[in-house]
Amino acid sequence: MSRLAVALLACAIALTACTSAGNTSTSDGATSYSAEVGSTDLFANAPQRFQIGVFRSSDQGVELLTSGAIDIKLSPFQGGPGTPLLIATRAGTRATWISLGGLAVTAVIQLVVAMLSGSVALLADTIHNLTMSSHVAPVAIDSRAQGGTPVPAPELHRDTVAGAIAAHRAALVLFATPVYCQSQFCGPSTDALERIAKTGPKDADYIHVEIYANYDKHQINRAAAQWLLRNGDLTEPWLYLIAPSGRIADRWGPLFDPSQVMTELRRVAG
């Protein structure tokens, strides 16, 4: 356990003890300080990181002053079994690729039939299916792309998880919504991934997945739902490290240490 992590934990405990109703904020006029827990998913019988961050808020915005993580391992309450974890398997990955292959074959057959039959309706439907992804609203790619603003850091949206797995490349995949995040962590996490992408291994892919396809209608992007939505509940941001084998090598909550992520990425990417 690092000294920084111990100090942060002590700070969080002190702030909680010194304020009413468990409020972890303190203020000196126009500026306020708060200690917030970054971890949103704690589980039993496996090593994990308990994350804490200290923030300063003022009329200039919110700034992360420092953060740290404590390595912990929890046991089920009263010796119970805990909640089973959903673990990706080789068979599951193979089934996913078979499904994608079937969809591709179907699209090709549909295109051939449309051309041979001369059916305008079928051809239009085929073109729609093949080009649907090109008509995604920019705000569904990155929530910061609003009001005509271009998608920031477009290099984080050029690759896909499926493409990285098919090419046997390592990938860092961040699920986050910088604008609509319920905490203060998503924007800094996205900025950190952008910096890592500029200096990290060139034989790895760096991917940002926006959470919402349409925030006002509470429509979640399909990829975000597949990875994060469980029983109607979704927490973010999450950063996943996917190995060239297609297996998840590690994951981090919002207050990840970029240097630690870089070390793990270089090890996995080889």
- Locate 155 and state its tokens: 């290099």
pLDDT by residue for the chain (270 residues), tens digit each?
444 444 444 444 444 333 333 345 555 568 888 777 766 676 677 777 777 777 778 887 667 777 677 777 777 766 666 555 444 445 555 555 555 565 566 556 656 665 666 665 555 555 544 444 456 899 999 999 999 899 999 999 999 999 999 999 999 999 999 888 876 667 788 999 999 999 999 999 999 999 999 999 999 999 999 999 988 888 888 999 999 999 999 988 877 889 999 999 999 998
Structural contact between residues 18 and 235, judged by C-beta atoms closer than 8 angstroms: no
> Domain map of the chain by residue range?
3-79, 89-135, 138-269
Tell me the pTM.
0.63
Residue 159 DSSP label: -
Residue ranges of E strands in the chain: 25-27, 32-37, 47-58, 61-73, 170-175, 204-209, 212-214, 219-220, 238-242, 248-252
What does the pLDDT read at residue 168? 95
What does the pLDDT read at residue 136? 82
Strands 25-27 and 32-37: antiparallel
Alpha carbon separation from 255 to 131, 157, 164, 174, 224 (Å, rounded): 37, 22, 25, 12, 19
Side by side, which strands form the sheet with 25-27?
A: 25-27, 32-37, 47-58, 61-73
What does the pLDDT read at residue 262? 96
What does the pLDDT read at residue 192? 92
Residue with tokens 């449309």: 114
What does the pLDDT read at residue 7? 47
Burial class (CB in 10 A: 0-12, 13-18, 19+), 200: buried
Residue in 163, 182, 150, 145 with CA at minimum distance from that of residue 36: 182
What does the pLDDT read at residue 183? 67
What does the pLDDT read at residue 40? 66
So what CATH class is 138-269?
alpha beta
Alpha carbon separation from 79 to 42, 44, 47, 208 (Å, rounded): 16, 11, 17, 39
Burial class (CB in 10 A: 0-12, 13-18, 19+), 33: middle
CA angle 170, 250, 77 (to 5 degrees): 160
